[in-house]
Structure 1
Amino acid sequence: MKNRILGKTGQSVSEIGFGAWAIGGTWGEVSMEDAKGALNAALDAGMTFIDTADVYGDGRSEKITADVLQERGGEQPFVATKLGRRLSPHVAAGYTEKNLNEYVDRSRDNLQMDTLDLVQLHCPPTEIYYTPEVFAVMDDMIKNGKIRSYGVSVEKVEEGLKALEFPNVSSIQLIYNIFRQRPAELLLREAKRRDVGIIARVPLASGLLTGKMTADTTFSADDHRAFNRNGEQFDKGETFAGVPFDVALDAVEDIRRLLPGDMTMAKFALRWILMNENVSVIIPGSKNKAQSETNAQASDITALSDETMSALKNIYQSKIAPWVHQRW
C-alpha cells in the first residue's frame, strides 16, 4: 500500500482508505460481524486512514471503529469524522458554537478519543462558507485540544474553492470519480497549491463503477440507492454520483471495453483516481472482508495508459457531463 501526505496535517496516510459509511447504515443491512471484518481486513491490508461520521448509523460507524481499534491495539490509523448533519432541520443557523462543540464531544465519546485527528463540516449549507464565525469555532477547538485539524466535506466545486480561503482548513472531501471529473479542472490543483489535502469519496459511484449492476438490480428499502435517487433525503449527487441509472449503465458498458486483461472495473476505477497526484486519499466503502481486500489491491495496479485516460475522458464528456458537470 502506497502512502500520500494529507495536506497541511503533514500526516502520511494510505492512498486508499476505509470509507465507513456502509458499516453505519443506509447501504442495506450489514451485520456487526461483517462490519468489523471489513474494517479489520482494511487495516490488515495497510489502510491507515478511516473516514466516518456521527450520523452514519446514528453513531454506529464511529463506535464500531472505536471497538476495532481498541481490540487491535498498537499503532493507530488516522481517523476522520464529520459533524453538522445531526441538525434537524439542517440549516446554517444551527451551526452554533454550542452545537458544534456538543457534536464533537459526542464523537470523542463514540470514538474513545480525547483529541480527534480530523473533523470535517459535513456538507454544510453553502451559506456556511460565507460565515467565518463557524471556522473560528473550529479554530478554538484546536486550541482547546478537542481536535488536531479540521476540514470540509463539500457537494460543489464552488464550495471547495471558497473553503480554501480559510487558512486552517486542512482538507476537502468531495466526490471525484470517472463520472465526476470536474474537480480536476481547477479545485484539485488549487488545493495542492495551498497544501490542502483532498479526500475522494464515492469513488465507485455508489457501486455503478464496479460493473456489477444491471437494469434489473434492486436495493433494499433502507439503502439510499433505493430512496435517494432524486435527492429525497440528501443531495442527489451522493447517489450514483448524480447520474441517472440508465445513462450510467450505458456508459459503464463503454468503460468495460477499456479494461486491461482480467482487471476488475472496481480496481480500474480506483486506479483512475490515483492517476491524479493531487488526490491525497480515496475512501471506497466496503461491507465485508472481501470488498476491503479488493479495494486495497488497487494501490498496486500499473498506471493507466494515456490512451485509456483519453478514452475515459471522452466517455465522460459525451455521456455523463451533460448530467452532472455544471451541477456540482
Structure 2
Amino acid sequence: MKRNRLGTSEVQVTELGFGGGPLGGLFAPLDDATAAGTLEAAWDSGIRYFDTSPHYGIGHSERRTGGLLRGKPREEVTLSTKVGRLLVPQDPAGRMDESFAVPATHRRVWDFTRDGVLRSVEDSLERMGVDRIDVLYLHDAEERFEDALRTGYPALAELRAQGVVGAIGAGMYHPGKLTRLVKESDVDVVMLSGRYTLLDQSALDELLPACGDRGVSVLAASIFNSGLLATARPVEGATFDYVPAEPRMLERALRMADVCEAHGVTLPEVAMAFPLRHPAVAGIVVGMRTADEVRRNMVAFGAEIPSRVWDDLRSEGLLDQRAPVHD
C-alpha cells in the first residue's frame, strides 16, 4: 500500500489507516478475540498505520493495539495516540463507561498541561507495551483550545525535539480551531474528523489552504460521517455525525448513491477515494470492528473510480467546485 510522509517529518503513513475507536467498544461491546482478529486482518491487508487513544474504551483500544504490535516488526508500523485526557482508576461499582461499552474502571480527567501530556504519554507507552510513539496528537481540544495551544502544543514540540515522537499534531472536528493551530504553531499533521467528506467539505474554506501553505499534512477521519456514507444505499435512521441524519442529508446521500450506481461503483468506494484526491491529504483513517469489515473496506479502498463520477457529482451540485478530484 502506498505510504505518504507527514509534513516535513520522517514519519510515513499508509494511505489507509486503522482507526482504533471501535476497539474500545464504540457503540457496542467488543471482546478481545474479535479485536485481535480485526487487527490481524488489517495487518494482513497491508495497513501499517494504526491510530488509537486513551479515550477509546478508557485504555482498551491502546492495550489491544499494543497486543498486535508485540508480534510484528516495529519498524514497519506507524503508531499514533493522543493526549488531553488522563485515565484515573476508580471502582466501577457495576457501572459502564459513559462513552464506550466497557466497565467504568477509570474516569477521564482533562489535562493539557506539560505534566499532563508527559504522564499521558508514559501511561500510553505502558498500556501498549511499546518504547516509542510515532505520531502524537492533541485530542478533542475544541472546548479547551487555548490550553491545548498554550501548554499542550509546546509539550508535544518538546517531545518531538527530544526524539520521543516523530511527528505531532491534533485530532479534532473543528476546521477553524485546527486552522489556528496550523497557522500559530509548527505541527506536522492534523487529523480532521468528518469535515472533508462527500457530505461536508467545510475544510476547503480555510483549513486545507492553510495546510497547503504551511506544508502540514491532513489525515481525513470519519470519512463516512459516522454511517451515512458507509453503505451503498443509506436508509432512514442512518447516522450523520453520530445522530440520525436529517431528511435533507439522507436525500443528498441517496442522490450521490444514484450517481455512483450509474457508473458501477458504490457510495463507500467513492467516499474513501474522495479525500485522497486533495494534495494536502496524506491518508484516510477508518474505524473497523471485525475482520470482515476490514476486508470489505479493503475492497472498497481498492476500487477504481471513473472520472465521470466526479464530473456528475459536480454537475448535480453535490460536490464543491473547489474540491480537487482529477489528476
Shorter-chain TM-score bucket reads: 0.7 to 0.9
Deviations 1:223-258 (A, max 9, x none): xx6xxx8xxxxxxxx426xx8343332222111111
State the partner residue of 1:184: 204
Counterpart CA distance in 2 for 1:79 and 1:251 is 36
- 1:95 corresponds, among 98, 112, 115, to 112
Which residue number in structure 2 is paired with residue 265 of structure 1?
267
Amino acid at match of 2:236: A
Matched, 1:164 2:182: yes
Asked if the contact 2:51–2:81 (Cα under 8 Å) also holds between the matched residues in 1, the reply is yes
CA distance in 2, matches of 1:8, 1:188: 16
Larger % of strand: which?
Answer: 2
* Deviation string, structure 1 residues 270-311 (Cα, Å, up to 9, x no partner): 012222222111001111112212222344332442553552
Aligned to 1:254: 255
Structure 2 vs 1, CA of residues 206 and 52 (structure 1 numbering), >3 Å: closer, same or farther? same
Q: 1:300 maps to what in 2?
A: 302
Give, as a single letter, the amino acid of the residue that structure 2 aligns with 1:273. Answer: P
- State how far apart, in whole Å, the 2-side matches of 1:299 and 1:16 are: 8
1:271–1:304 contact (8 Å) kept in structure 2 = no
Aligned-partner Cα distance in 1 for 2:157–2:75:
27
Q: Which residue of 1 aligns with 2:16?
A: 16
Relative contact order (alpha carbons < 8 A, sep ≥ 6): 1 or 2 greater? Answer: 1
How much does 1:162 deviate? 0.7
CA contact under 8 A between 1:14 and 1:49: conserved in structure 2?
yes
Aligned positions, number: 295
Task: Give me the identity figure in percent.
Answer: 22
- The answer to whether structure 1 residue 35 and structure 2 residue 31 are counterparts is no
In the alignment, is the contact (CA less than 8 A) between 2:257 and 2:266 conserved in 1?
Answer: no
Match of 1:251, as an amino acid?
R
Rounded to whole Å, the distance in 1 between the matches of 2:220 and 2:289 is 18
Alpha-carbon distance change, 130 to 13 in structure 1, aligned in 2, over 3 angstroms: closer
Structure with greater helix percent: 1
Task: Flag structure 1 segments of 5+ consecutive residues without an equivalent.
Answer: 218-224, 230-237, 318-328
* Shift of residue 106, structure 1, vs aligned partner: 0.7
Q: Any conservation in 1 of the 2:199–2:253 contact (CA below 8 Å)?
A: no
Q: Distance in 1 between matches of 2:2 and 2:162?
A: 33
Distance in 2, matches of 1:89 and 1:285, equals 22
Distance in 1, matches of 2:19 and 2:236, equals 26
Q: Is the 8 A contact 2:38 2:294 kept in 1?
A: yes
Give the one of 168, 173, 178 matched to 1:150: 168
**1:214 counterpart residue number:** 235
Q: TM-score w.r.t. structure 2 length?
A: 0.80
1:115–1:148 contact (8 Å) kept in structure 2:
no
Structure 2 portions without partners, runs of 5+: 88-106, 321-327
Distance 1:204 1:181 in 2: 13
How far off is 1:69 after superposition?
1.5
Tell whether 2:55 aligns with 1:55. yes
In the TM superposition, residue 152 of structure 1 has moved relative to its aligned partner by: 0.6
Query: Partners of 1:239 and 1:309 in 2: how far apart?
Result: 29
